[in-house]
Chain A
Amino acid sequence: MTVATKPLVETARRPLRGGRRFSLDWLGAVPFLAYVGLFLLLPTAIVVGGAFVGPKGLTLSNLTAMNKSYIIGAFVHSVVLSAASAIIGAVLGAVLAYAVATGNPKGVLRRLVTSACGVLAQFGGVTLAFAFLATIGLAGFITLWLQQRGINIYANSFWLAELSGLVLVYTYFQIPLMVLVFLPALDGIRPQWREATESLGGGTWHYWRYVAGPLLAPAFLGGTLLLFANAFSAYATAAALISQGSIIASLLIANTLTSEVGLAQPGLASALALVMVVIVAVVMVLYTQLQRRTSKWLQ
C-alpha cells in the first residue's frame, strides 16, 4: 500500500476495468434508454404485437376485420380532416409567421405571439373544444348574436360536431403550430438575398418565385406534413365535441378500446392503432427529410 500523497494535478481517472473506457461509457446512456424502452417502446410493441394476436395466437384476422365500411370511412375522414386542417393551417400559419418575422425580433409583440402560439399548439383539445362551444356552439355567444339578427347558422345541422366543424376547430391549434415551426425558417432568410435580387433587377415577384420561395418550400412542406400528423393523431378535441359515433380514426380507436364490442376483440383496437401509427410514421419520415433540407440552407 503506497503512502497517501495527493498528486499536484489530477488527471481523468483510469478506467476501472482493463483499458476499455468505451464499455463503461455506455452505462451513462442506460438510464435514458431503459426509461424510453419501458414507457415508449414497450407500450408501442404491445400495441403493434397485439394487432397480430387473436384468441388462438398469431393471426391476421384483426387486420382483415378492418374491412368494414365504417372503419375505412373513419380513416378516410381522418385523412380528409387532417389534410384540410393542415393545408389551411399551413397557409394561414405561414402568413402569420411572416408578419411576426418581419417585426422586431426582440419586441413585445413577437414574445406575446410566440407565447400564445406555444400555449395554443400544445394545450389540448378539451379547452379548445369548449372555447368553440362557447363561441359558436348551440348556446354560443356568436350563435345567439346571429340568431337575434335572424340568422340561424345551424339551420341544416349542427355542423360544429361534424367534419366541417372539426376542421374549423383544428385550425385553432394548427395555425399556432405552423407559426412555431415555420418562424425559425423565416428567421433564416437574410436581407442580403433581397438586396441581391434587387441589384440584379428583380422585383418582389422574382424574389419570391426564385429565391425565397424555393428556399422556404421544404420548411413549408415540412410544416404542412407536421400539421397533418398532428391532426391525424389528435383525439381530445374530437372527444370533447363528439360523443356519439366515431367519425374519425382516433375516436374509433378510443371507442373500440372502451366499448364491450372492442373488449371482446382486443386485437381490433390494436390493429386500428397500428394503421394509425404507420400512416403517421410515413408522414413523419417525410417531415424529417424536409427538415434536414431546410436546416441546410436556413439555419
Chain B
Amino acid sequence: MSRNRRLKLQVFRVVVFLVFGAFFLIPIGAMFEFSTRGNGDAPRTLVAWQTIFQTPDLVAAILASLALAVITSLGMLLLLVPTMIWVRLRLPSLSRIVEFLCLLPLTIPGIVLVAGLAPEYRWLSINVSESILTLAFVYLVLVLPYTYRTLHTGLAAIDVKTLSEAARSLGAGWATVMGRIIVPNMWSALLNASLLSVAVVLGEFTIANLLNYVNLQVSIFLVGKANGAVSIAVAVASLMFAFLLLVILSFFGRPRARVARLEEA
C-alpha cells in the first residue's frame, strides 16, 4: 500500500472513530449526567443510584433478569448443542430445516409472537409455574438465531465426524463423545453463544411486558414513568454491564481447532 494511501486511510479511520465515538458515547454520558442531577441548582448527587437498591421491585426485576439470562443460556446450550452435533453426524438432511427453524425467530417479531403466546402462558402460569422464570421457555427461542450461527461456526471449525467416529470406535458412548470430545473443542463458541444469549435476554422488553411479567427492561420502563433519574441510572448500568460481558468474551478469541486428546485405550 502506498504511503499516500496509508495516510489517507489513517485520517479516514481517525475521523470515523471520532465522529461515531461521539455519536455513541454522548447519549451514554448524558444518561450518567441525567441520573446524577440534583434538584434545581443543587449539586450533583448519587441519590438516584442509591435509590436503586432501596426499590425492592427494581432489585427483584434485576435479579429475575439475571436468573433468566443464566437459565436461557444453559437451556440453549443443552437443547442446541446436542441437536446440532446429532444433526451434523446422523441427520444431515435435517440441517437445512434446523437452520431454517433457528433463523425463523428473526422473521417473527416479538410483538407478533406474544399475541400467540398469551394463551400458552396463561396455561403455563396455572399448570406449571407462575414464576417469571417461565419466560426462559420463549427466550430460548428468541436467542436461537444468534446462537445458532455462532455454534455452527464453532462446529464447522472442528472435524466432528472424524473425532466422533474415532471416539466411538474406541468404545465411547454418545454422552462421552459430546461431553468430553466435541464440547471441549468448541468451548469458545459455546461461551460466545452464551454471552450473546445473556445480552438478548437482558435487553428483552416486548414479550415480558405484554405477558405481564416484570423483568429488567419492563422495570426500567415502569420506574421511568414515576422517576426519570432512577430509571436512567438502571438503564445505563445495565448497558455497561452487558458491554463489559461482551468485552470479556472477545478476549477469548476465535475458536481454535485443537486436536482432541484421545483417551487411553
Contacts and interface: CB of A to CB of B under 8 A. Distances in A.
Interface of A: 9-12, 25-26, 28-29, 31-33, 35-36, 38-40, 42-47, 50, 92, 95-96, 98-99, 102-103, 106, 109, 111-112, 114-116, 118-120, 122-128, 130-135, 139-142, 172, 175, 194, 204, 229, 232-236, 239-240, 250, 253-254, 257-258, 269-270, 273, 276-277, 280-281, 284, 288
Interface in B192-213: 196, 199-200, 202-206, 209-210
Nearest to A40: B141
Contacts of A142: 26, 30
Residue among A119, A236, A277 having the largest count of chain B Cβ atoms under 10 Å = A119
Contacts of A139: 34, 228
Contact of A250 (B12, B111, B168): B111
A253 B115 contact: yes
A47 B247 contact: no
Contacts of B53: none
B255 interface: no
Nearest to B220: A126
Given A10-B171, A32-B79, A284-B106, A25 B117 contact: no
B229 to A, nearest CB: 9
A127 B220 contact: yes
Given A45-B116, A131-B235, A31 B34 contact: no
Nearest to A99: B16
A39 B137 contact: yes
B30 A140 contact: yes
Residue among A50, A115, A132 having the largest count of chain B Cβ atoms under 10 Å = A115
Contacts of A132: 27
Contacts of A235: 109-111, 205-206
Residue among A32, A92, A134, A236 having the largest count of chain B Cβ atoms under 10 Å = A134
A259 B110 CA distance: 18
Interface string B15-39: 0110010011011111101110000
Contacts of A284: 103, 106-107
B199 A118 contact: yes
B256 interface: no
B148 to A, nearest CB: 11
B138 to A, nearest CB: 5
B113 interface: yes
Contacts of A141: 29-30, 33-34
Contacts of A234: 109
Nearest to B93: A22
Contacts of B146: 122
B137 A236 contact: no
A12 B168 contact: yes
A25 B251 CA distance: 38
A29 B98 contact: yes
Contacts of A175: 20
Contact of A99 (B12, B27, B94, B112): B12
A11 B144 CA distance: 35
Given A28-B86, A29-B83, A96-B16, A42 B116 contact: yes
B104 interface: yes
Interface string B106-137: 11111111111101100000000000000001
Contact of A273 (B112, B171, B202, B250): B112
Contact of A124 (B116, B168, B204, B228): B204
A186 to B, nearest CB: 13
A131 B236 contact: yes
A105 B137 CA distance: 37
Given A134-B27, A253-B115, A232 B104 contact: no
B108 A29 contact: no
B9 interface: yes
Contacts of A44: 108, 112-113, 116
Nearest to A169: B27
Nearest to A284: B107
B243 A115 contact: yes
B232 A233 contact: no
Contact of A9 (B5, B30, B171, B249): B171
A138 to B, nearest CB: 11
B171 A47 contact: no
B140 interface: yes
Contact of B79 (A31, A43, A112): A31
Contact of B111 (A11, A116, A122, A273): A273
A250 B115 CA distance: 12
A277 B221 contact: no
A137 to B, nearest CB: 9
B231 interface: yes
13 contacts: A28-B82, A39-B120, A39-B140, A42-B116, A44-B116, A115-B249, A126-B221, A131-B239, A229-B107, A240-B221, A250-B111, A253-B112, A257-B210
Contact of A111 (B17, B144, B251): B251
Interface in B209-265: 209-210, 217-218, 220-221, 224, 228, 231-232, 235-236, 238-239, 242-243, 246-247, 249-251, 253
